Amino acid sequence: MAPDPKLQRTVLLVDDEENVLRALARALRRDGYQILTAPNARAGLDLLEKHSVQVIVSDQRMPDLSGVEFLSQVKERYPDTVRIVLTGYTEIDTILDAVNHGAVFKFFVKPWEDELLRANIREAFAYHEMEQENIRLQKELKESNRQLSSMNEKLELRVAEQTREAVQSAVRLQKSLVDMVRAVGLALEKRDPYTAGHQQRVAALAQRLGQSLGWDERRLEGLKLAALVHDIGKIYIPAEVLTRPTKLLDYEFALIKTHPRVGYDILKGIDFPWPIAETVLQHHERLDGSGYPQALRGDEVIPEARVLSVADVVEAIVSYRPYRGSLDLAVALSELRKHRGLWYDAAVVDACLALFDSGNFTFPAEQLPTPA
């Protein structure tokens, strides 16, 4: 979504060190934001009562309230704000807990890099504006549904043409919402060149698997949409973690593992006719309970998530990643056979093996990511 040049973007900086406030303000001033500064959390809360603020950057260690405590209060009072915390290496566990519970959008470890900070602040404003647009569309959809319900009560008094036009209006609004979610999925992939197209390829394979299982077109449409946004929760994860060419540290991997839950939180408020949010939440679950984030077992994992998990793992294995080269399709199919019925649904695995063994599906080579 292109930024509105007339939109005033305000960032609040909270730190008890004056030199840090000056350095942050100096780094961000060139981007044209309205910048507010506060020497402590209480002063920050006072400013929030008087000003409309979209993005907050707070120090973690402050004398009156910690950054996490301050931002947790901000979340309760001003839930639409995007909250970022500055921290030291010794406070990483505390910050990870705050990220997992939704109080913090991102965190930076001191000392920060100005250009990286500026890029992430731009991303924070873009995310805020996307969320506001999402809220607007949800309100429109709820209002449309309300109007449709009212019309249904008076159907006997209305002519067929009026009813048809009302249904078409609701369909158009639903399509707009679906298109917006797809656009968010594409925007996510722009942040990571090595996984560009990942969600589209997973969606293509998932849809073919659903067809092999005999699913109808309506259900396949929902499966495809869930696949197109299954990694939407990674929008919360710093790009430098997503593109790390080496093994991730434990806390970085723990952060990566939050993306199904974050994706669910983003999508759960949208009134889809399919279980999109639940599919996104469960796409890393395994039938034996060894998956995440809920360690679900057996029938607790919905069919859409079972299909998506198989398509996701096959595409991930055959694609190039910064930390390893692409692997043979045979490696992916061997992985499915090894864990058939344990991690992965046996019927979905059989459908996938048959699809590739028959030559009825291949990932187009020109779409697979290659080393930069």
Tens digits of pLDDT across the chain (372 residues): 444 545 689 999 999 999 999 999 999 998 999 999 999 999 999 999 999 999 999 998 888 888 888 988 999 999 999 999 888 766 677 777 667 665 788 888 888 889 988 998 999 898 888 888 888 888 887 887 777 777 666 665 555 565 566 556 555 655 656 666 666 666 666 666 555 578 889 999 999 999 999 999 999 999 998 998 898 888 888 777 776 777 778 888 888 899 999 999 988 888 788 999 999 999 999 999 999 999 999 999 999 999 999 999 999 898 866 666 678 889 999 999 999 999 999 999 999 999 999 988 887 654 444 444
Question: What residues contact residue 326 under an 8 Å CB cut-off, 6+ apart?
Answer: 318, 319, 320, 368
Give the span between the Cα atoms of 257 and 290, in whole angstroms.
13
What sign does the CA torsion over 164, 166, 171, 175 have?
positive
Q: Tell me what pLDDT residue 1 has.
A: 42
Question: What residues contact residue 3 under an 8 Å CB cut-off, 6+ apart?
Answer: 125, 126, 129
Structure tokens at 97: 């807990």
The full DSSP string for 243-275 is T-SSPPPHHHHHHHTTHHHHHHHHHTTS--SS-
Give the span between the Cα atoms of 56 and 60, in whole angstroms.
12
Give the span between the Cα atoms of 171 and 225, in whole angstroms.
16
Q: Tell me what pLDDT residue 299 has.
A: 95
What are the structural domains, with CATH classification, of the chain?
10-120 (3.40.50.2300), 193-367 (1.10.3210.10)
Q: E strands, the chain, where?
A: 10-14, 34-38, 55-59, 82-87, 106-109
Q: Tell me what pLDDT residue 371 has.
A: 46
Q: Position of tokens 């100005």? A: 114
Q: Tell me what pLDDT residue 363 has.
A: 78
Task: Say if residues 147 and 25 touch (Cβ distance below 8 Å).
Answer: no
